[in-house]
Structure 1
Amino acid sequence: MTLPLNRLQEFTHPADVSRFNMIEQQIRPWRVDDTAVLELLGRVKREHFVPEAFQALAFMDLQVPLVSEDSLQHHPDWCMVPPKIEARMLNDLKVQPHERVLEIGAGSGYMAALLGGLGREVISLEIEPELVRLAQGNLQKNQIANVQVLQANGATEVPAGGFDVIVVSGSVVEVPPLLLAALNEGGRLMACVGQEPVMRMQLVRKTNDQYAVTTPWDFNLPRLQGFPEPSGFEF
């Protein structure tokens, strides 16, 4: 989906028009220029991972709830992040076709599907059983075969074998050493780190058993469950 704006009239389905506008008006301006990522966003149907009640929000620049309106107050963190955030993470991570990927926080399964479209194998860990079932169902319906969703706490449980890319799909106070240790040589990890009102996206690269950290951009994401929070006491 790298067509110029003057090709918009060629789209006949409303969802395809909305997807094109999402890519051109939201995602490209957020410094997403990787051709493979842009084409992938055109192929993987985001609306297929959005609950029916919120289909009208599928292509909007906002968080999309994954629960009913009645349940939102109990699970405000159960949501899909804005499309530009998913795209920018993929753009910066540069996932390659031979790479093994770990995602922490499956949500609807959409980010895992995108990662699966770039990498060789994806394992997505989700702590909430209801979201595990949601992600598994969405991936199956969309015939995504190289993604596996497991119920696990990504802060304390990591599958063996090492990973070339790790994506933390939510915010944490700090990246646990367990996740850093799971990176292969040359691997990359991206996570939203910090506390409100200011969080930063951290990109970690492992080279010669050393970790180089950069903070390419700022954005606040919902908290991931299961990760430690700082003590409320000050001395």
Structure 2
Amino acid sequence: MSLPLNSLIDDTQDTLAHTRYNMVEQQIRPWNVKDAAVLDALHTLRREDFVPPAHYQKAFMDTEIPLRDDAFAVERGQCMLAPKIDARIANDLQLQPHERVLEIGTGSGYMAALLSRLCQDVTTLEIDAELAETARENLATAECHNVTVRVADGSKDALNDGPFDVIVLSGSVAEVPTHLLAHLKDGGRLIAIVGEQPMMRVTIVQKNGGQTTTTTPWDTVAPRLQGFAGKSKFVF
């Protein structure tokens, strides 16, 4: 005898919740993610709703997830970062409920959704119009009403929504994009994954009274953020 549809749905949701719990406890907590608000957001935010159907089975895996159906999507930065990377970035920012956040590199919208649970509002920029529209749909499904998605190239387009308390680059860059520091409030901070493979460093730049201080708390590797080229090279 087959089970009623409602029972099957409940069983599926229980399985997803358990798998999400394992992701947080086995992948993310060991990466020094201890902020209670971040952990609560990770447990309740349905990451699977931000994953393309073709890669649904990877929703809770410790890996990057392509957002395009081609072999070079991850290489081009069209991907979701591994869950522990998003989580550790959110943890290290120590976001406050009154703060305003700018994210560059919306992707599927998952990081914007995570940040939106921790702050007042998020403006997120996506260079690809199709991905931006998908992110809007994902964020609406997740009822993230304090997130605004804009189609823009964060490496050069004008930013009219600031200044911001926090700027998050959801992908790697060759060097800290110093032009973005002008869009930080005093006391604000920018976080980015900086460097070249095989080693990059998470870099936090804090702005205080016109001066900046930089810390590099941990190492990782991530695909290059679209629009941000490599370091300038001298030509003789």
How does the TM-score come out when normalised to structure 1? 0.90
* Unaligned runs of at least 5 residues, structure 1: 1-10
Q: Following superposition of structure 1 onto structure 2, how do residues 118-129 of structure 1 map, counting pairs within 5 Å?
A: 118-129=118-129
Identity of paired residues, percent? 52
Q: Following superposition of structure 1 onto structure 2, how do residues 104-143 of structure 1 map, counting pairs within 5 Å?
A: 104-143=104-143
1:219 pairs with 2:220:
yes
Give the drift of 1:233.
Answer: 6.2
Which amino acid in the other structure matches residue 72 of structure 1? Answer: A
Provide the residue aligned with 1:44 in structure 2.
45
1:72 pairs with 2:78:
no
- Distance in 2 separating the partners of 1:198 and 1:148: 32
- Distance in 1 separating the partners of 2:132 and 2:13: 34
Give the drift of 1:12.
Answer: 7.1
1:60 pairs with 2:56:
no
* Unaligned runs of at least 5 residues, structure 2: 1-11
Which amino acid in the other structure matches residue 193 of structure 1? Answer: V
Give the drift of 1:72.
Answer: 2.6
- Distance in 2 separating the partners of 1:122 and 1:186: 18
- Distance in 1 separating the partners of 2:132 and 2:63: 22
Provide the residue aligned with 1:151 in structure 2.
151
1:103 pairs with 2:103:
yes
Give the drift of 1:159.
Answer: 2.6
Cα distance 1:54–1:156, how it changes in 2: closer, same or farther (>3 A)? Answer: same
Q: Following superposition of structure 1 onto structure 2, how do residues 156-195 of structure 1 map, counting pairs within 5 Å?
A: 156-157=156-157, 158-195=159-196
- Distance in 2 separating the partners of 1:95 and 1:51: 28
Give the drift of 1:144.
Answer: 1.0
Partners of 2:175 and 2:231 within 8 A in 1: no
Which amino acid in the other structure matches residue 134 of structure 1? Answer: T
Give the drift of 1:75.
Answer: 5.8
- Distance in 2 separating the partners of 1:108 and 1:138: 7
Provide the residue aligned with 1:209 in structure 2.
210
Provide the residue aligned with 1:228 in structure 2.
229
How does the TM-score come out when normalised to structure 2? 0.90
Larger RCO (CA under 8 A, 6+ residues apart)? 2
Give the drift of 1:232.
Answer: 5.9
- Distance in 2 separating the partners of 1:232 and 1:213: 24
The RMSD of aligned alpha carbons is 1.6
Cα distance 1:182–1:50, how it changes in 2: closer, same or farther (>3 A)? Answer: same
